């Protein structure tokens, strides 16, 4: 059974026509795990109901 992250990396690389050297795949997978973990922490952070997004300033 293949690892879902390996499948995601392979599918994304094919879609983006981005070759990933086999020697680099473990590092790509590690970085993806860290990114997904950070995203999970952000998604789990509960905001109060009165919270509003910050304004966007353009110079």
Calpha distance 35→52 (Å, rounded) = 25
What are the pLDDT digits (tens) for 32-56? 999 999 999 999 999 898 988 888 8
Closest CA to 8 of 24, 22, 23, 29: 29
Number of domains in the chain: 1
For the CA atoms of 25, 29, 32, 33, the dihedral, rounded to the nearest 10 degrees, stands at -170
What are the pLDDT digits (tens) for 4-35? 999 999 999 999 999 999 999 999 999 999 99
Residue 1 has pLDDT above 90, yes or no: no
Give the pLDDT confidence score for residue 21 in this predicted structure. 96
Domain around 12: 1-59
**pTM, full prediction:** 0.74
């Amino acid at each position: 059974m293949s690892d879902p992250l390996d499948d995601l990396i392979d599918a994304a690389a094919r879609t983006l026509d981005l070759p990933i050297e086999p020697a680099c795949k473990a590092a790509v997978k590690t970085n993806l795990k860290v990114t997904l973990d950070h995203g999970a922490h952000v998604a789990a952070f509960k905001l109060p109901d009165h919270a509003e997004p910050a304004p966007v300033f353009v110079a």
